[in-house]
Structure 1
Amino acid sequence: MTLATDEAHEFVVPAETLEAKPGSSWMRPVEVISAILLLSIIGMLLAGVVSRYIFSRPIVWIDEASSIAFLWLAMLGTAIAIDRSEHLRLTVFLNTLGERKREFAETFGLILMGAFLLVVLPAAYEYAVGEMDITSSALNIPVGYRVSAIAIGMVLMLGLVVTQLFKTAKLRDFIVAAAIVLVVLAALWFLTPVLKSFGNANILIFLVGATAICLALGVPIAFCFGIATLLFLGFTTTMPLVVVVSRMDEGMSSLILLSVPVFVLLGCILDATGMGKAIVDFLASMLGHVKAGMSYVLLGSLFLVSGISGSKVSDMATVAPALFPEMKRRGHKPKEMIALLATGAAMADTVPPSIVLIVLGSVAGVSIASLFTSGFAIAMVLLIALAILARIKASRENVDGFRRPSLKLIGKTALIAAPALVLPFIIRSAVASGAATATEVSTIAVLYAFIIGVVLYGGIGLPRIYRMLVETAAMSGAILLILGTAAAMAWALTQTGFAFQLRDMLSGLPGGWFTFMLVSIVLFMLLGCVLEGLPAIVLLAPIMFPIAHAMGINDIHYSMVIVTAMNIGLMAPPIGVGFYIACKIGNVSPDEAMGAIWPYIGAMVLGLLAIAAVPWFSTALL
């Protein structure tokens, strides 16, 4: 996967959709090491699965070794993501500026990133040195060797930021921006006694205000959270800055998150082998001749493909090129296709293996097996809502010229698609039954997809495999750094006692649990627009889940509601990031598609309200 910039946002988009952006030559060794680390993680996890389930002899050091490699992969991946400009950021405000002002804002953002790294780096070194006194239980080596990855990653990121400043920044912009940063820091230091007396008002000043300013300047989301947390702790508390690093480590190091890079790689394999296209072709042969048939095919393809890739971007990039030409030939308007593509991808985000559900399970302590089981049912509810709307819109569609395919053709496409079709069901059933963890299933799925792809779907060349490994490292690093800095901010937020005040306020709302549900829906939709799903979960899950639990709301039910709300926000213009991804993939102007998406957003909201009001949808299969 690689990055593209459109009129309003910068996002991660598969390399097959947009040409990959090469990194710096001096980062090549880092890319090679990252690729080796990713292969090592997959190899160790597969060895652990084979040893445990076939030989009944678990390898006790696998988890520790995988954890070490994982953190190093994450931090090296963050550096690669900076080198390739693949960190997720919001540029909607930057694009309202003239060219000269935008150049200054870009320079200002780079200086803020550099300042954050420069301040946190000594704390990262201190944290690593402190952890050298602790010995791991299985490998019997100092834990400091693992957490040294944070300091090394920050050194690499700082070097890349400085390099970018030398390459792109004008000297005058650099001096002015650096002076502004120094003056603001000096003013905050001078006002520290006053700020400490403000109490929870500092949450609005720093955790909200500073984050908003950084987002407006186009600073990557991970750094927005880190900068805001650093300012909050540094100028309103006496907490040592090493706490920021320790919380980043905790947010990035959960063993459950090991499945994230593996599922990202699985999405790359899906794109490279054409397994997703085989599913699309099969559904087209089954439904393409009926009214709204191609809309059903698009929705069904997103539903099934999501069960393989776990990535909305990969889903859309697989389905759109395969279906859009035929849909245009049949008279579908491009703006309607984009609207259905975007909302269909949001619908499918709860289908296992959803990376959002994996992160939610890690942060909120909810069973991933239960989330996967419930997510499948919730996606069906939303699928039906979108399919009904698609059928209404297709009431005047003329399908007289399209004949039903022969049984022979349907059988042929089914035979070709069969190996790909079984994969999402293998993933879901294995996790839901408790036969294997999400991490174990992810490695098995990668091995299965790779072997099937090589044997039946044309194979993948070694150069492309290497590019996929590096791109997976970069995307995983960008995701995990967001989780790390968001975890640090969430911890800072909880230390203020704000969580208890929010709990008391929400608990006292009239209307009981359903009013709380409605407030949660609005909150997560808004955050989904601005922050994307993962950081919103890490920030709010530790606060909102205890409140929901106290109100008697089932954890799985609440999980499905907030994930669906975030996905709707993600696709809602004018800010929703996913909407612009869909426009980029479909090569349609956002202005043209913006008006067409609202009926589909409305259908999703109606489905969400049904899910919120009827817990049975979320819990029936548990």
Structure 2
Amino acid sequence: MTALADHKTGGAVGSSSPGLARVDAILGRIVEIPVALLVAAEIVLLFSGIVARYVLHTPITWSDELASILFLWLAMLGSVVAFRRGEHMRMTAFVSWASPPLRAFLDVFAVAAALAFLLLVIGPAAEFAHEEDAIVTPALEISNMWRAAALPVGLGLMIVVALVRLASVGNLRLVGGALLAVAGVALLFALLQPAFAGLGKLNLLIFFVGIVAGAVFAGVPIAFAFGLASFGYLALTTSVPLLVVIGRMDEGMSHLILLSVPLFVFLGLLIEMTGMARAMVAVLANLLGHVRGGLSYVLVGAMYLVSGISGAKAADMAAVAPVLFPEMKARGAKPGDLVALLAATGAQTETIPPSIVLITIGSVTGVSIAALFTGGLLPGLVLAFTLCVVVWFRYRHEDLSRVRRPTRRELGRSLFVAVPALALPFVIRAAVVEGIATATEVSTIGIVYSMVVGLLVYRRFDWRRLVPMLVETAALSGAILLIIGTATGMAWCLTRSGFSTDLAQLMASLPGGSFTFIAVSIVAFIVLGSVLEGIPAIVLFGPLLFPIARQMGVHEVQYAMIVILAMGMGLFAPPFGVGYYVACAIGRINPDEGMRPILGYLAALLVGLILVAAIPWLSIGFL
């Protein structure tokens, strides 16, 4: 995903206090049951819209409006679930290197900083919802406050979660120290307000570099780091009403195209549960498992196929690794090389539709989602080829004396079993191309298809897992969408300050024209991908850089592929790329073991990225 939220800020309450545990359990029930129902309702609503429009030829005029209302509630309540579970994205590299006492302090400090942001914006959020009461929705003809109320309700519930989390720590000195540290920083900035007035654009460095970098490196979840920087900049250096922060958050989280994020996340979980992913991997293993490095080629190919369905990188890796790793280890593959290749394939498949990063980049830059889906297929193949070259070199002397080649009967059987699973990417693509469904709706076709195949063909459908999967979908989606909301506010602040104009002038003045612009973009997004992860970096800098790319004569789809692949490299490259550590966790392998092997794969990815940047046809040849 693209959006990887597996790096904890501390999980749900683990205190020995029965009262706190009871409060936490009640909070869980209050939020998780409604949010699971919201995900299910969105699936039913969008699929019903497809059936009504395409089959019955009687469009439901209010479906998009209701979907939009429910979506904001899904985003905010999903954020609450993610906060309660400690699943909001954060950078943990520096925190993990700290001593145990300092690490404990930083974990509490992260919660305290998040609480500070929530307390600062809860008032403007309530005011924003109240002002929306005067607006009547066009189709349903109800007050828009029904939608906007999701913001103060979600923020309020997160405040309660933060207080419960702090109370559950059980160390008064630690909690008091963290709260005092946050209050001290806030007081210092408040006292310096008169000085900020004369600093002009230097304030951008103080707030959007200093505060963001300090908070992110301290382990504060990225969404709250962005929010604190934006709120502080507006409150202390401008006269803009603080209501703007909430308005921009609402705008960022309300793009209906982003509704495909939770739906594709759920689809990814569904194909793993129904056995479709395992069937695809099995047929590839039978085709290539008997050649040198065969299972490594299978890993590359399986990630390409699965990524084209689920759109979430953590789900992709979790679906493929457990199937292949045991046999690869039995053949003598080193654990470090396995996790290195898994991480590299995570970066390789970032452009393969329906990647959540593709959907996000389309929503914030206005680039056609259909064009991005088409343009992303070939760059992924190019990087797959470069990775396979490294695999061939490393495994060219592999001993296959004990590997049995499957018979034609076994191969045919595995292919027959895999056909329904292999058909899913083509079903999804055909639905968009034929105009049956939009990029937002098409995920529901995939969900219904997967449920039917799981129930009738593979006979694997665990109904008991359905609600936990819906809740997990909401949590991951809430973590992603809250980042998009706060990053939208931050991007608005940067644009209002004139930074976007200055950046455009600077990039346009670089010698070498489009060549230098692309080279600088690659370096910048590799760094941004490792520090901020893909989606925050895209939301922040996409609206600023894509217009410059157009002025430079770079096709927007090609530039999107360059940016996404560069961010993918940063996201999965140690020591800062959090995607690498997700791959290690999924493979249950020590991160240190993969540090050296991944260098060769990163070099291969860089070669592939250079090819995509140098040959526009690879991205736009089929548009």
Structures share fold, TM-score greater than 0.5: yes
Q: Distance in 1 between matches of 2:5 and 2:474?
A: 17
Q: What is aligned with 1:186?
A: 187
Tell me the alpha carbon deviations over residues 517-574 of structure 1, each in whole angstroms, 9 at most, x when there is no partner. 0100011110110111111100000100011011111010000000000001111110
Tell me what 2:346 maps to: 345
Task: List alignment gaps of at least 5 residues for structure 2.
Answer: 12-20
Which stretch of the first structure deviates more once superposed, 453-462 or 160-169?
A: 453-462
Determine the C-alpha separation between the residues in 2 that align with 1:345 and 1:175.
Answer: 41
Residue in structure 2 matched with residue 614 of structure 1 by the alignment = 615
Contact 2:5 2:89 in 1 (8 A): no
Q: Is the 8 A contact 2:9 2:107 kept in 1?
A: no
Aligned pairs for 1:261-280 within 5 A: 261-280=262-281
Using the TM superposition, give the Cα deviation of residue 216 of structure 1 relative to its aligned residue in structure 2, in angstroms. Answer: 2.0
256-265 or 327-336: which moved more?
A: 327-336
- Quick check: 2:276–2:421 contact (8 Å CA) kept in 1? yes
Q: For residue 132 of structure 1, what is the aligned residue in structure 2?
A: 133
Paired AA for residue 27 in structure 1 = G
Per-residue deviation at 1:258?
Answer: 0.9
Verify: 1:324 aligned to 2:328, yes or no.
no
Q: What residue is the counterpart of 1:455 in the other structure?
A: 456
Deviations 1:465-497 (A, max 9, x none): 011111111111111001100111111111110
Task: Assess if the C-alpha contact under 8 Å between 2:527 and 2:570 holds in 1.
Answer: yes
Distance 1:189 1:158 in 2: 22
The residue that corresponds to 2:61 in the other structure is 60
1:188 is displaced (CA, Å) by 2.1
Equivalent position of 2:554 in the other structure: 553
- Which residue is 1:16 aligned to? none
Gaps of 5+ in 1: 14-20
1:55 partner amino acid: L
Opposite residue 198 of structure 1, the aligned amino acid is L
AA in 2 matched with 1:148: A
Q: Aligned partners of 1:177, 1:32: CA distance in 2, in Å?
A: 32
- Partner residue, 1:86: 87
Q: Identify the residue that residue 527 of structure 1 maps to in structure 2.
A: 528
Residue of structure 2 equivalent to 1:334: 335
Distance in 2 of aligned mates of 1:557 and 1:418: 32
In the other structure, the counterpart of 1:232 is: 233
- Asked whether the equivalents of residues 525 and 570 of structure 2 are also in contact (C-alpha less than 8 Å), the reply is yes
Q: Secondary structure at the match of 2:423?
A: helix
For 1:409, what is the secondary structure of its paired residue? helix
Which residue identity is paired with 2:274? T
Matched with 1:360 is 361
Return the alpha-carbon distance in structure 1 between the equivalents of residues 113 and 9 of structure 2.
21
Q: Is the 8 A contact 2:9 2:86 kept in 1?
A: no
Distance 2:413 2:174 in 1: 62
Give the CA deviation at 1:248.
0.4
Task: Name 2:151's counterpart in structure 1.
Answer: 150
Equivalent residues in 2 for 1:12-411, closer than 5 Å? 24-168=25-169, 170-411=171-412
Aligned-pair distance for 1:107? 2.2
Distance across 1 between alignment mates of 2:523 and 2:571: 13
Q: 1:435: how far off?
A: 4.1
* Letter aligned with residue 133 of structure 1: A
Are the equivalent residues in 2 in contact too, given 1:74–1:476 (CA < 8 A)? yes
Distance in 2 separating the partners of 1:289 and 1:182: 62
Aligned equivalents of 1:287 and 1:177: distance in 2? 55
Question: Distance between the aligned counterparts of 1:4 and 1:43, measured in 2?
Answer: 26
Please give the secondary structure, in 1, of the residue aligned with 2:397. Answer: coil
Query: What's the TM-score, normalizing by structure 1?
Result: 0.95
Q: Distance in 1 between matches of 2:570 and 2:346?
A: 12
For the pair 1:538 / 2:539, whether they are aligned, the reply is yes
Corresponding residue SS for 2:575: coil
What is the letter of the counterpart of residue 456 of structure 2? V
Structure 1, 438-447 or 105-114: larger mean CA deviation: 105-114
| CA deviation profile, 1:370-393 (whole Å, cap 9, x unmatched) | 101111111111111111111121
Counterpart Cα distance in 2 of 1:461 and 1:285: 27
193-202 or 539-548, which deviates more: 193-202
Aligned residues of 2:5 and 2:88 also touching (Cα < 8 A): no
Letter of the 2:235 partner, please give it.
Answer: G
Aligned AA (2:145): G
- How far residue 422 of structure 1 moved from its aligned partner, in angstroms, is 0.6
- Write the mapping of 1:474-489 to structure 2, written as runs, cut at 5 A: 474-489=475-490
Corresponding residue of 2:474: 473
Shift of 1:61: 0.2
Cα 1:4/1:80, change in 2 over 3 Å: closer
Comparing 142-151 with 90-99, which one deviates more in the overlay?
90-99
The equivalent of 2:18 in structure 1 is none
Q: 1:281/1:362 Cα in 2 relative to 1: closer, same or farther (>3 Å)?
A: same
Counterpart of 1:307 in structure 2: which amino acid?
Answer: G
CA offsets 1:597-620 (integer angstroms, 9 cap, x no match): 000000000000110011010011
Say which SS state the counterpart of residue 93 (structure 1) adopts.
Answer: helix
Alpha-carbon separation, structure 2, partners of 1:369 and 1:444: 16
Any conservation in 2 of the 1:4–1:11 contact (CA below 8 Å)? Answer: no
Is the deviation greater in 95-104 or in 37-46?
Answer: 95-104
Identify which range, 288-297 or 559-568, moves more after superposition: 288-297
Give the residue type in structure 2 aligned to 1:300: G
Does 1 or 2 have the higher relative contact order (CA < 8 Å, sep 6+)?
Answer: 2
Contact 1:90 1:216 in 2 (8 A): yes
> What is the match of residue 588 of structure 2?
587
| 1:168 match: secondary structure | coil
Q: Which amino acid aligns with 2:507?
A: L
Distance 2:88 2:271 in 1: 23
CA contact (8 A) 2:292 2:392 kept: yes
C-alpha separation in 2, matches of 1:414 and 1:314: 23
Compared CA separation, residues 12 and 534, structure 1 to 2 (3 A): farther
**Structure 2 CA distance, aligned partners of 1:236 and 1:594?**
43
Matches within 5 A, 1:566-585: 566-585=567-586
**Equivalents in 2 of 1:350, 1:25: separation in Å?**
40
Question: How far apart are the structure 1 equivalents of 2:436 and 2:460?
Answer: 30
Q: Which deviates further from its counterpart, 260-269 or 447-456? A: 447-456
Is the 1:107–1:169 contact (alpha carbons within 8 Å) kept by the matching residues of 2?
A: no
Contact (CA 8 Å) 2:275, 2:460: kept in 1 or not? no
Q: In the TM superposition, what is the alpha-carbon distance from 1:287 to its structure 2 partner? A: 0.9
Q: Is the 8 A contact 2:424 2:446 kept in 1?
A: yes
Asked if 2 retains the 8 angstrom alpha-carbon contact of 1:61 and 1:139, the reply is yes
3-state SS of 1:103 partner: helix
Deviations 1:34-55 (A, max 9, x none): 1111111111101110011112
Task: Give the deviation of 1:199 after TM superposition.
Answer: 1.2
- In the other structure, the counterpart of 1:17 is none
**8 A contact 1:110–1:161 mirrored in 2:** yes
C-alpha distance in 2, partners of 1:116/1:43? 35
Secondary structure, counterpart of 1:507 in structure 2: helix
1:188 is aligned with what amino acid?
F
178-187 or 135-144, which deviates more: 178-187
Change (3 A) 1:495 1:171: same
Q: CA deviation at 1:338?
A: 1.1
| Counterpart amino acid of residue 506 in structure 1 | M
